Amino acid sequence: MAKQQSFADKAKAKAKAAFVNVKVVSTVKSENGKYKFQEKFVKLDDVNKVTSLK
């Protein structure tokens, strides 16, 4: 029997993720004068919106 669906057809049928996960690293100056880094993940609709993050 012939294969009905190839792997490429199956991969094409799956929907792409609507969001892009981006890691945001921000710096905070402590009372001692040292810098701390805070990391968080943010879901964005489009990669081009990265520049609009604070």
pLDDT, residue 35, reads 97
pTM equals: 0.54
Both tokens of residue 19? 């969001």
Q: Where are the domains of the chain?
A: 14-46
Predicted pLDDT of residue 1: 67
Show the low-confidence residues of the chain (pLDDT under 70): 1, 15, 17
DSSP code for 13: H
- Each residue's pLDDT tens digit, 17-29: 688 999 999 999 9
SS3 29: strand
